[in-house]
Amino acid sequence: MSKVVFAAAAAALVLVPAVAGAQVLQERNIPLAIAQEIAQATVEACAAKNFNVTATVVDRAGVVRAMLRADRAGPHTVSASREKAYTAASARNVTSAIAEGAEKNPAARHLASIEGFLLLGGGVPVKVGDEVIGAVGVGGAPGGHLDEECANAGVEKVKAKLR
């Protein structure tokens, strides 16, 4: 019994310096104003092509910051855009690339089983340098590649503000 207590005490002493030296994380995140601008620019980019879509912008943790549903956009576009944005933020990659990887890699096919993931084109991370601060997802254009084009246009519109 005393050996167990000694081992536990020794382990605690080893862990104390690591915890004591821990610092608060500093992470960038997408502000509401930029999230709203991305959503607006994304819906406008699709509207210019006569696509009625929903654009959802999430923060780095996948929590919705802004959502905009165009007139005549189908009700399914709300959840599709949200799930594409969540997938892009969580995986820190465009959803078309994730979907392509899942098709080619049998082990990655199970990504579709993760709650909230949608492996269709139309989700794009929002980055400051290499750091993902959020993502935008689009649903409603006649193809994921077109959703992705609109999402990219929305991010491009605010690119100068992403510093």
Look at phi and psi of residue 87 and say left if phi exceeds 0, alpha if psi is from -120 to 50, else beta.
alpha
Contact present, 123 and 145 (Cβ < 8 Å): no
Going from N- to C-terminal start, the domains of the chain cover: 28-161
Distance CA 31, CA 29 (A): 6
Contact present, 126 and 135 (Cβ < 8 Å): yes
126-148: per-residue pLDDT in tens? 999 999 999 999 999 999 999 99
Instruction: Tell me what pLDDT residue 100 has.
Output: 95
Distance CA 41, CA 97 (A): 23
Distance CA 157, CA 28 (A): 19
Q: What is the CA radius of gyration of the chain?
A: 20
Considering the chain, what is the average pLDDT of its residues?
91
Lowest-pLDDT range of 90-94, 95-99, 104-108, 117-121: 104-108
The DSSP output letter for 116 is T
User: Strands 123-128, 64-69: parallel, antiparallel or unpaired by DSSP?
Assistant: unpaired
Contact present, 155 and 38 (Cβ < 8 Å): yes
Instruction: Tell me what pLDDT residue 21 has.
Output: 80
Which CATH number applies to 28-161: 3.40.50.300, 1.10.260.40, 3.30.450.150, 3.30.70.20? Answer: 3.30.450.150
